[in-house]
Structure 1
Amino acid sequence: MGRNFQIAVAESFSRKESRQIMRYRSIIATVLALCLGLLTACAEEPSEYVDKSQLTYDQVLGTGLANKCPRLASSRRGTIEVSTDTTYKIKDMCLQPTEFYVKEEPENKRREAEFVPGKLLTRSTSSLDQIIANLKFTEDGQFLFQEIDGIDFQPITVQLPGGEQIPFLFTVKGLTAQTERGLENINTSTDFEGDFKVPSYRGALFLDPKGRGVASGYDNAIALPAQADDEDYERANKKSVSRFSEEKGHISLQIEKVDEVTGEIAGTFESEQPSDTDLGAQEPEDVKIRGIFYGRVETTTS
């Protein structure tokens, strides 16, 4: 009986200790949560840059990381000093679209056409990356931007509220942009604006649903050979890639963050360009793209 009494007393003390431990554990957890919250609120916002070259294919696959551009902390508002005697390049430039708009004719003919928002259908394959551009600073204080290489185009499809799907080739191929004159350095007030080429969405070997193409396929719709030269079918039958070699787009880049130590810049962009025309069979739609961009300014050693 004495032994049973000792066991009962021990169990009573162990239950009390357990309750006290649980009470202290909840208090400690609350204090730690408050401390972490204060540290997060007071700490500087970190850069979201992830060196994707250090990751394997399996580590990137399915994460959406390959479609995201690096971001700088909001407090990065320095300046990058430049000289007319030095040549520069912008490397690892990335453009990540976040909003898409298509100009749509209103039902009321008295109203002007307006841009309506579209829903991205191509998901995580919409960003441009690894773009390299020459950057020149002139004596009158103007920056000249010339895109020369990189993953500078992506086929994208957006869907309008009515269900219509608009394909287009998001690109900055051959972009030539400049800033206003009178600048002394690269800062958060530096804005670039310029034009670029918009290649054909389809290539010469593409065949439409009726088997018509530029370099291969039928010359006309098989079921209507006698009407091959009819005006209603002429554009669809006589497909061409060269007629779109002069298509142009326009873009503006607003620098909002600058890290003078690493030479990194980041900001927002707005681009307008034509959509796909099925190799000339349709009229192009006007597409507006908004998003964020990132780049790194470096001096040219050669």
Structure 2
Amino acid sequence: MKYRSLMTFFLVLCLGILTACSSSPKLEGSLSYDDIKGSGLANSCPQLPETSMDSINIGADRSYQLKALCLQPQTFAVRRSALMKRQESKFVPSKLLTRESSTLDQISGSLKIGPDGNLTFVEQGGFDFQPITVQLPDGERVPLLFTVKGLVAKNQDAAASLSPSTRLVGTFEVPPYRTSSFIDPKGRGLTMGYDSAVGLPVQADREDFSRQNNKAFDIGQGHISLQVNRVNRATGEIAGWFESEQPSDSDFGSKEPMAVEIRGQFYGRIESEIA
């Protein structure tokens, strides 16, 4: 009886060890498409360990590229108008509705010392926009085009290096949320559809009528701050936090855009161009 109980114990122990080994997670570098699909990992930016506290010198006589720039938003806030006249408008936390497709990735651009002596980054291309929608606590939904198109950012301390204290600040363009061929539910559009959805507008609503029917492809402007807090000189990698503020969608000028504040983390890689 004791022998049978002992054999049962060892059998359970061996099965437990085999199960634990077979269910061990794979390394990130060995993940397949099926492992990543639906997991949300594709929406995450790479990160550096907290021990990466080096600095990368940027020579004034050389050209550099900032590649694989990735911006992963983590919090959203929308500025709401004050209910009372004496109150100030404030940013209200909002909820992301676009699931796991909000990250900007593979953005690249030039990085060099400008004529004014400041380190300057000029964005040149990549997956630099992402249409997303956020929801306010009262249920209102705010669409926006999260982007850094045409970003020109400069170092604030006039240092010719990238270190954990470097902060790049600049502005960028914000195109409309939709393309010019979009047609609204009443058949109106910028390049297609009807010119008007009603016959004779009421005199009191003439201004509102004009805004709803005269579509305009307006380009907004946003600004962003990239705070570097980790640098790996051996690999040229940098990482840190960003804070961006940009306008939301205006439906081709038919409504006033809202200011949206976006915060998150970023990652990039510095490469020197060979002359």
Band the TM-score falls in, shorter-chain normalisation: 0.7 to 0.9
SS in structure 1 of the partner of residue 210 of structure 2: helix
Distance 1:134 1:182 in 2: 17
Alignment of 1:213-292 (within 5 A): 213-221=189-197, 224-227=198-201, 230-241=206-217, 244-245=218-219, 247-292=220-265
- Residues 191 and 254 in structure 1, CA contact (< 8 A), matched pair in contact too: yes
Distance 1:228 1:211, change over 3 A: farther
Alignment of 1:190-201 (within 5 A): 190-201=166-177
Residue 58 of structure 1 deviates from its aligned partner by 3.7
Q: If you compute each CA radius of gyration, which structure gives the higher value, 1 or 2?
A: 1
The equivalent residue for 1:120 is 96
Distance 1:139 1:250 in 2: 22
Q: What is the CA deviation profile of residues 63-92 of structure 1, one whole-angstrom value per residue up to 9, with x for unaligned ones?
A: 212211001111111111221111100000
Unaligned 5+ segments in structure 2 are 18-26
- Residues 119 and 160 in structure 2, CA contact (< 8 A), matched pair in contact too: no
TM normalised by structure 1 equals: 0.80
Distance 1:283 1:95, change over 3 A: same
- Residues 102 and 286 in structure 1, CA contact (< 8 A), matched pair in contact too: yes
Distance 2:62 2:202 in 1: 59
Give the aligned residue type for 1:187: S
The equivalent residue for 1:149 is 125
Alignment of 1:201-212 (within 5 A): 201-212=177-188
- Residues 228 and 234 in structure 1, CA contact (< 8 A), matched pair in contact too: no
Distance 1:184 1:146 in 2: 16
SS in structure 1 of the partner of residue 257 of structure 2: coil
Distance 1:237 1:101, change over 3 A: same
Give the aligned residue type for 1:91: K
Unaligned 5+ segments in structure 1 are 1-10, 30-48
Greater helix share, 1 or 2?
Answer: 1
SS in structure 2 of the partner of residue 66 of structure 1: helix
Give the aligned residue type for 2:53: R
Alignment of 1:60-209 (within 5 A): 60-138=36-114, 141-209=117-185
Greater strand share, 1 or 2?
Answer: 2
Distance 1:231 1:80, change over 3 A: same
Cα RMSD, aligned residues only: 2.5
Percent identity, aligned pairs only? 47
Residue 101 of structure 1 deviates from its aligned partner by 0.3
SS in structure 2 of the partner of residue 84 of structure 1: coil
Distance 2:43 2:91 in 1: 25
